[in-house]
Chain A
Amino acid sequence: MYFLPTDEQRELQRGVREVLDSAFPLEKLPGGFDAVVWSTLVETGVFSLRTELELGLVEAALVFEELGRAAVPGPLVGTFLVAGHADGATTVLEARLTPLTVAHLDVATSVLVLDSGGSRLATASDVSGVPLPEPIDPLTPLHELAAAPTGSSIGLDYTRLMNEGALLTGALQVGLAARLTELAVAYAKSREQFDRPIGSFQAVKHICADMFVRTELARASLHSAAVMLDDPEAGDGARAVAGAKLLADEAATLNSRGCTQVHGGMGFTWEVPVHYLLKRAWLQATEFGTADDHAEALAALL
């Protein structure tokens, strides 16, 4: 056993972080989907890790943590899932969702319809929906559809797609949770009240420590699930993925609250970017299964 990223895996993750730190720092976030950043990600091979670089879900999870940490807007998961089957940005429509809603329809070329009765690929321009006037995440436009579109089968298994999607969405959540911890810690060190940094008050220090602990737990769970999906002999991937998405959602949503709280009044403003991460976390908590869905799935395996 060696349950740490290898040097190559660390290198990959560091490379993606460097690209995003310069191409998409938090100051750029309010602009939403950025076509230039998207092309950079495509060229870097973020979506074709598996198909062109012959890497696995472990590497994908590490890379998606970075995408989450930078809160990159766009149809990230779908584009990764269809690599090798379709070119271009691909958004996911989970046919089981009520109300039936899909993200980033306007920038996608394809829609991957995840349907237990048969997953399929539709052309985005053929799919019509009504845009939601105020989606929770201002950087993720949503459309409501009357019915799931038809399309052509690409022969991918529904359960496998759902597991991989949950894993990658979980990775985005872990990335958010980590960034929220970083932001809270930095603020707690610099903001002073009562003539000392607020981080010196145990009440604040403990919020930050809990955020860190949640992230570490979720990340270990996530990496473990990634290993098991890559190598079924390593363990029960389905059970591990359910636990990973559940803990990642918990880390991202609770860390959103913690980070807002540490920022005091500043945390309630639009100017401070914390709310963008919080809203993304709330949205992603409804994608590829909620924590309740995954708790049920896990319960069924106990």
Chain B
Amino acid sequence: MDLRDSAAERAFRTELRDWLAKTLPALGPKPHHTDWPGRRRYDTAWQRQLFDAGYAGINWPTEYGGRGATPTEHLIFLEETERAGAPYVGVNFVGLLHAGPTIATEGTPEQKAAHLPKILTGEEIWCQGFSEPSAGSDLASMRTRAVRDGDHYVVNGHKIWTSHAEVADYCELLVRTDPDAPKHKGITWLMMAMDSPGLEVRPLNTLLGSSEFSEVFFDNVRIPVSNRVGEENDGWRVTMVTLSFERGTAWVDQIVDSVRLVADLAAIAKKVTTHAGVAWEDRGLRRDIAHLGAEFDALWALTKRGVTEAGSGVPGASASVLKLRYTEARQRLMDLGARVLDRAAVSRTDIAGLPTGEWTTERLNSLSYTIAAGTSQIQRNIIGERILGLPKERG
């Protein structure tokens, strides 16, 4: 066990730091979170800068235009960009982390050539059309139907919670092609252009008061058979490839961010003075902040373990452990933030010279972390059944 950078890793880190120090100050201001065209422009411009500097698709193989970095270098990349306050992957998320890797693994040479370069340069934005109103945790029960008509599939049905659907060019879409087969066996994975006729996107308002996701309705939407990734009815296996990407690296930047937030919270606590005194002088509060500091440091260590496991091909337990523990710790951190901020926590904009805007908004946002990408209950089932080998719950 060794936690130090190798000579090559150190060189990579230094080069990246220098580039970030040079590039970030020239970036424009972040658009408001409700300004979707602005967000797309901002996120894709950043992706283009990464591409030009050779950092796009850091972990993608070089044959697809990626950098072919080792998992450790990928980790260094995420760590350094987050620490430097670089823009988040944003609307490029599904393309870079889900659809792109799936196409790279399962797609035809034509599909790879058509999409991978554009995903890397930020020209093509993707969304994920998996969940349906009646198929969330039980994703495999999805019903959106695709029927073959010559060299097209004709799709009818209804997807929900499709993040970034409003700005996406393409959607990784799961459809049911064989309604008679067992539920995992009749699903197909398609690439769908978001300007296809018959497609309607209706934004859904989140409890934050902004539309991060949408409902998508399909009325005889025609998708070329050549847009199918993998075999017909083999979409569930293709999906598992996608989900294994989501549950791996998806949390790295947020854990780095949480380590920073713990430090920020300590600084805020030293500043907040209420009728009860300076928050940091409250032993109970101070210890609770420290406790979360320990947890996020440990989650960061667990992240490194997961990355080493991935690099050595060892199937590890880290992904579900990380997702479960990170998301719940993040919620406790935001609740603790509210305890420190005291009455200031009632404002979603900055007040009293405190960063209440960030903390209160993120406190609300963090409610979704234990739901999206597999709920905490489902993560516990996975840990109990697949890792510990406990019997399944009976219905």
Contacts and interface: CB of A to CB of B under 8 A. Distances in A.
A282 B331 contact: no
B331 A96 contact: no
Interface in A211-227: none
Contact of B346 (A198, A260, A269, A286): A286
B209 A98 contact: no
Contact of A99 (B206, B282, B343): B343
Contacts of B363: 282
B: interface residue count bin: 35 or more
Contacts of B131: 265
Contact of B349 (A133, A202, A268): A133
A201 B352 CA distance: 45
A98 B343 contact: yes
Interface in B319-359: 331, 335, 338-339, 342-349, 351-352
B308 interface: no
Which bracket fits the contact residues of A? 35 or more
A13 to B, nearest CB: 29
B343 A144 contact: no
B204 A269 contact: yes
A193 B205 contact: no
A84 B342 CA distance: 32
A301 B335 CA distance: 27
A261 B395 contact: no
A203 B381 contact: yes
* Residue with the greatest number of chain B CB neighbours at <10 A, chosen from A96, A134, A268: A268
A136 interface: yes
Nearest to A137: B346
B338 to A, nearest CB: 7
A135 B331 contact: no
A283 interface: yes
Contact of A264 (B136, B273, B285, B349): B136
Nearest to A144: B351
A264 B377 CA distance: 10
Interface in A263-283: 264-265, 267-271, 274-275, 278, 282-283
Given A265-B160, A292-B285, A132 B136 contact: no
Contacts of B367: 257, 260, 267-268, 278
B381 A265 contact: no
Contacts, number: 128
A201 B377 contact: yes
A3 interface: no
Contacts of A192: 134
Interface string B85-97: 0000000000000
A259 to B, nearest CB: 11
A10 interface: no
Interface string B68-100: 000000000000000000000000000000000
Interface in A120-158: 132-138, 142, 144
B105 interface: no
Contacts of A97: 274-275, 343
B26 interface: no
A288 to B, nearest CB: 12
Contact of A132 (B141, B160, B274, B347): B347
B276 interface: yes
A81 to B, nearest CB: 19
A293 interface: yes
A257 B395 contact: no
B371 interface: yes
B161 interface: yes
Contacts of A96: 274-275
A295 B393 CA distance: 40
A200 B395 CA distance: 7
A99 B344 contact: yes
23 contacts: A97-B274, A98-B273, A132-B349, A132-B351, A134-B347, A198-B137, A203-B377, A203-B380, A203-B381, A257-B331, A261-B377, A264-B136, A265-B131, A265-B371, A265-B372, A268-B206, A268-B368, A269-B204, A269-B207, A278-B207, A282-B338, A290-B339, A296-B276
Interface of B: 131, 134-138, 141, 160-161, 204-207, 209, 273-276, 282, 284-285, 331, 335, 338-339, 342-349, 351-352, 360, 363-364, 367-368, 370-372, 375-377, 380-381, 393, 395
Given A193-B136, A264-B136, 5 more contacts: A99-B344, A101-B347, A257-B331, A265-B371, A286-B345
4 closest pairs, A vs B, by CB?
A: A134-B348, A275-B207, A270-B205, A203-B377
